[in-house]
Structure 1
Amino acid sequence: MSIARLWSKREARRSGPPASVPAGTRVYAIGDVHGQLDQLLDLEAQIAADAASSDAERRVLIYLGDYVDRGSESAGVIEHMIAAPPQGFERVTLKGNHEALLLEFLIDPDAGTNWVINGGDAALASYGIDVEDDVPGDEDRLLSLHRRFTAALPPAHRAFLEGLATSHAEGDYFFAHAGIRPGVPLEAQDPVDLIWIRYPFLQSKADFGKVVVHGHTPDSEPVERSNRIGIDTGAVYGGRLTALVLDRAERRFLQA
Structure 2
Amino acid sequence: MFFSRSRKSAARSTAFRITEGQRVYAIGDVHGRFDLLRLLLERIEQHRSATDPQRTQSRLVFLGDYIDRGTESREVIEAVRAGQEGQGWTCLTGNHEAMLLAALDGRLDWEVWLANGGVETLFSYGLSARDFTASGRMDELGPAITEAMPASHLAFLRGLPTHVEIGDYFFCHAGVRPGVALEQQSPEDLMWIRDVFLDSRADHGKRIVHGHTPQMEPEILPNRINVDTGAYLTNRLSCVILETDQVQVIHT
Take 2:118 and 2:233, find their aligned partners in 1: how far apart are those partners?
Answer: 16
Partner of 1:105: 103
Take 2:204 and 2:25, find their aligned partners in 1: how far apart are those partners?
Answer: 21
- Name the SS for the 1:28 alignment partner: strand
> Is 1:73 aligned to residue 72 of structure 2?
yes
- Quote the offset at 1:109 in angstroms: 7.6
RMSD, aligned α-carbons: 2.1
- Quote the offset at 1:82 in angstroms: 1.7
Take 1:203 and 1:12, find their aligned partners in 2: how far apart are those partners?
Answer: 9
Report the number of matched residues: 245
Q: Please, which of 12, 15, 25 is the counterpart of residue 15 of structure 1?
A: 12
Take 1:28 and 1:71, find their aligned partners in 2: how far apart are those partners?
Answer: 22
- Quote the offset at 1:84 in angstroms: 3.8
Partner of 1:198: 194
Indicate how the Cα distance of structure 1 residues 86 and 146 shifts in structure 2: closer, same or farther if over 3 A, else same.
closer
Identity %: 43
Tell me, yes or no, if the aligned pair for 1:21 and 1:170 is still in contact at 8 Å. yes
Partner of 2:203: 207
Tell me, yes or no, if the aligned pair for 2:176 and 2:189 is still in contact at 8 Å. yes
- Quote the offset at 1:12 in angstroms: 7.5
Take 1:22 and 1:134, find their aligned partners in 2: how far apart are those partners?
Answer: 50
Q: Please, which of 35, 38, 59 is the counterpart of residue 38 of structure 1?
A: 35
Give deviations 1:133-165, integer Å, cap 9, x for gaps.
12646xx43212222111111100000000101
- Quote the offset at 1:106 in angstroms: 1.3
Partner of 2:3: none
Q: Please, which of 153, 161, 167 is the counterpart of residue 163 of structure 2?
A: 167
- Quote the offset at 1:13 in angstroms: 7.2
Tell me, yes or no, if the aligned pair for 2:219 and 2:226 is still in contact at 8 Å. yes
Take 1:194 and 1:22, find their aligned partners in 2: how far apart are those partners?
Answer: 23
Take 1:10 and 1:136, find their aligned partners in 2: how far apart are those partners?
Answer: 44
Indicate how the Cα distance of structure 1 residues 135 and 73 shifts in structure 2: closer, same or farther if over 3 A, else same.
closer
- Name the SS for the 2:241 alignment partner: strand
- Quote the offset at 1:10 in angstroms: 11
Matching residue's letter, 1:197: I
Take 1:14 and 1:77, find their aligned partners in 2: how far apart are those partners?
Answer: 37
Tell me, yes or no, if the aligned pair for 1:166 and 1:195 is still in contact at 8 Å. yes
- Quote the offset at 1:111 in angstroms: 2.1
Take 1:20 and 1:141, find their aligned partners in 2: how far apart are those partners?
Answer: 52
Take 1:109 and 1:212, find their aligned partners in 2: how far apart are those partners?
Answer: 29
- Name the SS for the 2:165 alignment partner: strand
Tell me, yes or no, if the aligned pair for 1:30 and 1:244 is still in contact at 8 Å. yes
Give deviations 1:110-138, integer Å, cap 9, x for gaps.
5211100000010001001101112646x
Take 2:9 and 2:201, find their aligned partners in 1: how far apart are those partners?
Answer: 12
Q: Please, which of 147, 150, 154 is the counterpart of residue 158 of structure 1?
A: 154
- Name the SS for the 2:89 alignment partner: strand
> Is 1:117 aligned to residue 115 of structure 2?
yes
TM-score, L = length of structure 2? 0.91
Matching residue's letter, 1:17: T
Partner of 1:57: 56
> Is 1:92 aligned to residue 90 of structure 2?
yes
- Name the SS for the 1:38 alignment partner: helix
TM-score, L = length of structure 1? 0.90
Give deviations 1:50-100, integer Å, cap 9, x for gaps.
11222563111000000000000001101111214598x531000000000
Give deviations 1:23-75, integer Å, cap 9, x for gaps.
21000000000000011011111111111222563111000000000000001
Matching residue's letter, 2:219: V
Indicate how the Cα distance of structure 1 residues 84 and 33 shifts in structure 2: closer, same or farther if over 3 A, else same.
closer
Please list every run of 5 or more consecutive structure 1 residues that lacks an aligned counterpart in the other structure.
Answer: 1-8
Matching residue's letter, 2:20: A
Matching residue's letter, 1:43: L
